[in-house]
Structure 1
Amino acid sequence: MSTVPTPMALTLALAFVLTSLAACAPGQQSADASEATDQRQCFWASSLSNFRQGDHGNLYVRDRSDQVFEISTRERCQDLDLASSVAIQSDYSSVGRLCVGGHARITMRGLGGEPASCRARVDRRLTPDQIAALPDNQQP
């Protein structure tokens, strides 16, 4: 005895197959999402190799891929110019990836002092020309 599928069952099966095929096909939306991520200009906090204080509470950091980012402090970070090390972490994510426009917390340790922290924002990634234009004492 054979059963004949109902029109509703055939419609659902066809919808499932078409949805599955559409999910596998390359689409414009995924390309746009990839471009948006590339344009965000991000770095990993664990990849920082150097830092220098800039003017007016700015901090310039260099990562291992030789990118330089400008970070501005929201509060005046006391003794940032005396910091022997800094750690930066995202305010909103524990992943450790920071992007231009993102908010962060800078924790610094001075010579023999207690760690201090302040809020900051990743302002921009500098171009090679912008890095070269920084005063020598501000280039990370």
Structure 2
Amino acid sequence: MRTVSIPMARTLALTLTLTSLAACAPGQPAANAAGAGGARQCFWASSLTNFRQGDHGHLYIRDRADQVFAVSTLERCQELDLASSVAIHSDFSSVGRLCVGDPARITLRSLGGEPATCRARIDRRLTPEEIAALPDDQRP
């Protein structure tokens, strides 16, 4: 049997490469990760069913799993008051899954107007109690 010797620099480079690749690998699907033991709280952008504007640049969105997420705009989003429809897209990937803490882009459409895009961040998933406590005009 022959022993192959790998120089230390190559070993380090190989270890870093494999570690990087492992970090990029997709994890367990968690479309509805609901805080179970540290799982990320996520939703699919294509599963949105309703939205309402909150106070001062906040948006509340509801998905098919009946989860409600708070979203903050990161810039002045003038069309938010007039929006008749909203689409949300990940800044990270084209997969369409968004999780708490992720940056996103919101595309707003108003009746007769041009679409407007705003930068945003997914803040948190609301508890049933927090959803019930929202004012009627802010509850999606």
**Structure 1 length as normaliser, TM-score?**
0.74
* Whole-Å separation in 2 of the counterparts to 1:116 and 1:135: 26
Q: Percent identity?
A: 75
Q: How many pairs does the alignment contain?
A: 110
Match runs of 1:67-106 below 5 Å: 67-106=67-106
Q: Measure how far apart 1:68 and its partner are.
A: 0.2
After superposition, residues 36-55 of structure 1 pair within 5 angstroms as: 38=33, 39-55=39-55
CA shift at 1:79, angstroms? 2.1
Structure 2 residue ranges without an equivalent (≥5): 4-26, 34-38
- Report the Cα distance in structure 2 between the residues aligned to 1:78 and 1:96, rounded to whole angstroms: 25
2:53 maps to amino acid: Q
In the TM superposition, what is the alpha-carbon distance from 1:82 to its structure 2 partner? 1.1
Asked if residue 138 in structure 1 is aligned to residue 138 in structure 2, the reply is: yes
Tell me the secondary structure at the aligned position of residue 75 of structure 2: coil
Name the residue aligned to 1:56: 56
In the aligned structure 1, how far is the partner of 2:92 from the partner of 2:109? 22
SS in 1 for 2:78: coil
2: distance between equivalents of 1:50 and 1:108? 13
Displacement after TM superposition at 1:76 (Å)? 1.5
Residue of structure 2 in register with 1:23 after alignment: none
TM-score, normalised by the number of residues in structure 2: 0.74
Cα RMSD of the aligned pairs, angstroms, is 1.9
The answer to which structure has the higher helix fraction is 1
- CA offset at residue 92 of structure 1? 1.2
